[in-house]
């Protein structure tokens, strides 16, 4: 009876060892872990690996979860001290005709002629318009900008390549949504919008999620 039990225990031990060897074929990497080829998950098998991997995950989680505060992204600024802030300069850039200013001081834009790129409508009163961040500030925060300093956030918030004159209603409908949740109602603008989005993301090394990539691809099909 005792001999039989020993044989059973020996068989179980051999099976366990065999399975373990198969699961970790190729051995551990220099960190003391390995990637499961079936699931793509990384597993640690040494204390040093667990500590290193845990610290990495905590750091990523802290960056993702750090609260977004719009006040940390200074805008609109008057970088060249000519009394025209970023909003005024984008309104001037995007107007189809020379703009008019409040009290003719050349600072605050009041009138012009703008085509709303998101809806195709035309506007003449600046008060009906917003300056849209193509890649919204909050979206940037959650895709890699959470750890930026105030100076870099200021640059991003006032970068002309990420700014567009749009109707106030379209800008507020978009909010902080990415392409997976919001696309310009005007389909003929999809190609341009997708290209601008990619450019800004690449310029600031912000991540693009799988669903975001799919939505961008859908919009880019209208380019051809």
Tokens of residue 51, six digits: 């500590």
Q: What's the confidence (pLDDT) of residue 53?
A: 61
The beta strand positions in the chain, using DSSP E, are 33-35, 42-44, 100-101, 109-115, 122-125, 129-133, 163-167
Q: What's the confidence (pLDDT) of residue 34?
A: 58
Tell me what percent of the residues of the chain surpass a pLDDT of 70.
Answer: 72
Q: Place 96 in a pLDDT band, splitting at 50, 70 and 90.
A: very high
What is the spatial distance between Cα 87 and Cα 164, in angstroms, rounded to a whole number? 10
Structure pTM? Answer: 0.70
The pLDDT tens digits of the residues spanning 67-81 come to 999 999 999 999 999
Q: What's the confidence (pLDDT) of residue 39?
A: 43
The pLDDT tens digits of the residues spanning 112-121 come to 999 999 999 9
Q: What's the confidence (pLDDT) of residue 105?
A: 83
Q: What's the confidence (pLDDT) of residue 172?
A: 95
- Which bin fits 104, alpha (ψ -120 to 50), beta or left (φ > 0)? left
Number of C-alpha atoms within 13 angstroms, CB side, residue 95?
A: 20
Q: What's the confidence (pLDDT) of residue 66?
A: 72
49 against 87, higher pLDDT: 87
Per-residue pLDDT for 7 more than 70? Answer: no
The pLDDT of 111-132, averaged and rounded, is 97
9 against 144, higher pLDDT: 144
């Amino acid at each position: 009876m005792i001999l039989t039990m020993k044989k059973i225990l020996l068989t179980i031990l051999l099976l366990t060892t065999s399975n373990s060897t198969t699961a970790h074929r190729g051995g551990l990497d220099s960190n003391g872990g390995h990637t499961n080829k079936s699931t793509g998950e990384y597993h640690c098998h040494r204390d040093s690996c667990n500590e290193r991997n845990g610290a990495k995950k905590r750091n990523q989680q802290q960056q993702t979860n750090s609260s977004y505060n719009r006040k940390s992204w200074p805008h609109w600024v008057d970088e060249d001290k000519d009394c025209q802030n970023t909003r005024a300069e984008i309104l001037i850039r995007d107007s189809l005709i020379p703009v008019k200013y409040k009290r003719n001081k050349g600072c605050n834009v009041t009138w012009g002629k703008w085509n709303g790129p998101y809806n195709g409508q035309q506007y003449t009163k600046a008060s009906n318009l917003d300056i849209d961040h193509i890649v919204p500030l909050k979206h940037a925060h959650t895709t890699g900008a959470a750890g930026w300093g105030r100076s870099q956030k200021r640059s991003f918030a006032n970068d002309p390549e990420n700014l567009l004159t749009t109707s106030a209603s379209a800008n507020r409908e978009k909010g902080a949504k990415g392409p997976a949740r919001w696309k310009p109602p005007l389909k003929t603008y999809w190609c341009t919008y997708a290209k601008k989005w990619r450019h800004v993301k690449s310029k600031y090394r912000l991540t693009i999620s799988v669903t975001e990539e799919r939505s961008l691809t859908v919009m880019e099909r209208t380019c051809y």
